[in-house]
Structure 1
């Protein structure tokens, strides 16, 4: 019914870190924006994430994903200042860097190769032999094969970052509707003109799907084959009060991030479990063992809480960013997998540019929606 219909210039479906980053950038440009979220803001993978800005540590080879990550990471210092000025909330950007510890000789050789190409691409990557690592970290970390130090890979605290984005966008005019699940699309003459919800229709000139692991399911309603699927990640928090090191420590199957609130984040698993996001004892026990093996002092710290979320994986490991060809008014920003927080800054920026008809700061061709998509 007409009286149950809302109208907005831009509608973002999904209130995680990606949706909120896009909303913030659109709000800066003066665009009327509404964000709807079926639960609460950041309650899915954002809440469970580590907050690592691992533009180098997460990337195995040069290419579009690596370039996108480096470009996004560079935006965070200025973005932090903007958000503090608007909202008074600090994302808690921590900049000591990341030590990527080698677990065996094969891993050592791989990391040395990674140091080579990252240095050739203009990034800082410094190799530490065991004796150098012990001088820096003492006996805190179990070593044996050296470590690659990445001084420009940083971290933030996800809940603070999300709050800062949402509060800043709201101050600039963005509206939010939590506990508002999308139930379908509004279609007119081959274009998406809004969505349906249990509380009524929402009409919009532009609709953005930033719905993480659920994006593929929603796209199916439009007969779009969008290969985004859930990858369960489990982690946990420890109460440290005084973190043992300012550095993030990373190795195969485990990473340890000290947070400014006194806690330590330990992550994370990768599991194919459908849409079941409940923590599982076996996975947490395995992760705990790996963490204590890497950093023995963690064994005596009190357990704070388990975390679990569903990351949006994609068939080729790249996110989907851009307009859906053949359907007017519909945009997608999803499939960021483990790098949603890292890529949030550049995703918000380039999606706002695209939707405002501006020159793009990123070539979106490698991330085009239609690269893996067909309209049935």
Structure 2
């Protein structure tokens, strides 16, 4: 029997397993599919909230800690596994921003590098953007990471550890409940028991604790994206415009995202979204019209009130925990979120005050 059972093999679950196993714990990680095949794979990989000043301080606190940790994490994963997560530290431009004054005040308050640059600077860095853009907001320290490769390197890091067991394609059928304790889970392959269970199942997390009579407001929010097979250098930095963005990869490919759709657990792509994303892409970078669309896909974000995740003990069960509800920022917040919960589980001083993320007072019964 493991010390910890983690339900959910996305970036949050895998980083949780990595944190706990590094501290010497025996960990079992279970996923309904393969590791990192849901929203962790589907996202864009920007290591910053979009328009970060529009989020609550608890999001900023997690994001700030995470952003500074990704450089070391990417280096460690490459050395451990040979798989490069492709962290690109090229910065992010935000153009046509209506609340730029709010952005500058936020940056000053939180000591974040954000400046206003003129069109000459913008086009010097990104000459293929649409014509006649004016000034832009520039965050030079914002990075992006190739999230499918991050998922692969995290998985490889775990399977190489003697104190980690990775179980894939085993959907949870039920929690094993004995009195007021959760002793593990049942899957179609039998029982998996542990001293403590952590729910990190993204959009499905709220559904998994409903049998306990708990209503955790985590719901799926569909996002559709596309990728263009473009040459290296067409786009070099993340560019955000009118709520959508382009993200370059090392091989030249350019992602465009993303829609926001409340469709429940429906994950199919739509022709309307495809057309809308294409229009956005060529509006930001007109030259993308000369390059083929390579793939169009959808994923389900774990939406939560104001995007503040649920991190901590599940009320009424001394050995059940949750790390879920990161909405659009799961990858951005993952290092801090997993470290914060690991600190609580291992009796360490938390990296930040955990109160804002606690489930107590934010979860209802019934």
TM-score by length of 2: 0.96
Aligned to 2:102, the other structure's residue is in SS state helix
Q: Which residue of 2 aligns with 1:223?
A: 213
The correspondence for 2:299, drawn from 296, 309, 313, is 309
For residue 52 of structure 1, the aligned residue among 33, 38, 46 is 46
Separation of aligned partners in 1, 2:148 and 2:37: 9
Structure 1 partner of 2:145: 156
Deviation at 1:32, TM superposition (A): 0.5
CA contact (8 A) 2:56 2:306 kept: no
Report the Cα distance in structure 2 between the residues aligned to 1:230 and 1:61, rounded to whole angstroms. 19
Q: Name 1:126's counterpart in structure 2.
A: 115
Residues 2 and 27, structure 2, Cα contact 8 Å, conserved in 1: yes
Q: Which residue number in structure 2 is paired with residue 43 of structure 1? A: 37
Cα separation, partners in 2 of 1:367 and 1:322, compared to 1, 3 Å:
same
Assess if the C-alpha contact under 8 Å between 1:253 and 1:290 holds in 2.
Answer: no
Shift of 1:299: 1.0
Which string of whole-angstrom CA distances, capped at 9 and with x for unpartnered residues, describes residues 200-226 of structure 1? 011110101001111111111111110
Unmatched segments (≥5 aa) in structure 2: none
Give how far 1:143 is off.
Answer: 4.4
Counterparts of 1:199 and 1:62, CA distance in 2 = 42
Provide the C-alpha distance between the structure 2 equivalents of 1:347 and 1:38, rounded to a whole number of angstroms.
22
**Kept in 1: contact 2:222–2:261 (CA 8 A):** yes
RMSD, aligned α-carbons: 1.5
**Equivalent position of 2:359 in the other structure:** 369
Conserved? CA contact 1:184–1:196, under 8 Å = yes
1:6-34 deviation per Cα after TM superposition (whole angstroms, max 9, x unaligned):
x3221100111110110111111111111
Q: Which runs of 4+ in 1 moved over 6 A?
A: none
State how 1:1-376 maps to structure 2 within 5 Å: 7-55=1-49, 57-61=51-55, 63-102=57-96, 107-108=97-98, 110-173=99-162, 174-376=164-366
Contact 1:24/1:166 (<8 A) preserved: no
Distance 2:86 2:124 in 1: 27
Query: For 2:360, what is the secondary structure of its paired residue?
Result: helix
Distance 1:128 1:112 in 2: 14
Aligned pair in 2 of structure 1 residues 41, 143: CA closer, same or farther (>3 Å)? Answer: farther
Shift of 1:55: 4.5
TM-score by length of 1: 0.93
Deviates more, 1:290-299 or 1:168-177: 168-177
Q: How many Å separate the matches in 2 of 1:116 and 1:143? A: 27
Q: CA deviation at 1:315?
A: 2.1
| Separation of aligned partners in 1, 2:132 and 2:18 | 42
